A and B are shown apart, each in its own frame.
Chain A
Amino acid sequence: MNMVIGGAYQGKLKYAKETFQIGDGWADGASCAPKDLLTCRGIWNFHLLVRRMLQQEQDVDALIERLWEENPRLCIVTNELGCGVVPVDAFDRLWREKTGRVCTELAARAKEVHRVFCGIGMVIKK
């Protein structure tokens, strides 16, 4: 498993496609069906997938285990949340914190983690 993280609109998906040579087979976390996650080669907007799952009160940790078991060569692209002021809305607080915890767990397991800034990737784990 590999991860590409960074702020919004930094060119993360393009970078991930080129770096890990994954042209198609991407699932969009904002809209994809759960079954796509187990067969896709990459997930982008992973943070929005976490948001959807929390809204539907689904178990994000269980999904991580399932991805790790059944789709371990996956590339995960996510916005790096949690670097702003603590949100007033309780659900937003839950979302950013949960995304952080889940991504920390994924980063611990990932083979490589790249952080993209202005389209330029920095390898922070290899």
Chain B
Amino acid sequence: MIHLITGGSGSGKSAYAEERILELNGDCRIYIATMYPYDEESRRRIARHRAMRAQKRFATVECYQNLEQAEVPRGADVLLECMSNLTANEMFWPQGAGENTEEQILRGVERLRRTAANLVIVSNEIFSDGIAYDSGTREYQRTLGRINCRLAKLADRVTEVVYGIPLEVK
């Protein structure tokens, strides 16, 4: 099963996604972490997420790019968090996938889908503030938007989390 979970910043989507994995009651929980600790603020964010996951028996797999290479045990319940970081890393890192980001990520998701029993993917709403960004940021929005659409098509279930309240989209 693939479950795509999206929402704005601070909307409670991570807590909701973790609960979905926990309620599956599986033996093997994998957390694929995509945020690279490049400064104090990102380290604080990572620490906050780690504290949220403590006691929940997740094994963490760090994957900042090249999702296809992420090693996940067969039959695991996998939480991938989050698509917006992974997309930014692939697009903007010198060693990233660049213009092949969308295909690269979708191949990784396809591979995970075959390995994992359940795959919960967290993505992000970055599309609704109406501000005209520079071309690089617009390209990023376009790429993540396309990836979200393709993931939603693959997914059995799509949920938007609004201030902790799940809205079922699919």
Contacts and interface: CB of A to CB of B under 8 A. Distances in A.
Contacts of A103: 10, 163
Nearest to A96: B9
Interface residues of A, number: 27
The number of chain B residues touching the other chain, given as a range, is: 20 to 34
Contacts of B129: 83-85
Contacts of A124: 162, 165, 167
A5 B128 contact: no
Given A7-B128, A90-B41, A82 B165 contact: no
Interface in A68-126: 80-86, 90, 93, 96-101, 103-104, 106-108, 113, 115, 124-125
A4 to B, nearest CB: 12
Given A5-B162, A5-B163, A104 B11 contact: yes
Contacts of A125: 165
Nearest to A6: B162
Contact of A81 (B8, B12, B165): B8
Contact of A84 (B41, B128, B162): B128
B41 A85 contact: no
B125 A82 contact: yes
A83 B125 contact: yes
Interface string B117-149: 000000001111111010001001100000000
B164 interface: yes
B9 A85 contact: no
A85 B145 CA distance: 12
Interface in B26-71: 41
21 contacts: A5-B163, A7-B128, A81-B10, A82-B8, A82-B9, A82-B10, A82-B125, A83-B127, A84-B130, A85-B133, A96-B10, A98-B10, A99-B10, A100-B11, A100-B12, A106-B163, A107-B162, A107-B163, A115-B162, A124-B162, A125-B165
Task: Give the 4 A-B residue pairs with the shortest CB-CB distance, closest first.
Answer: A100-B10, A84-B129, A82-B8, A82-B9
Interface of A: 3, 5, 7, 80-86, 90, 93, 96-101, 103-104, 106-108, 113, 115, 124-125
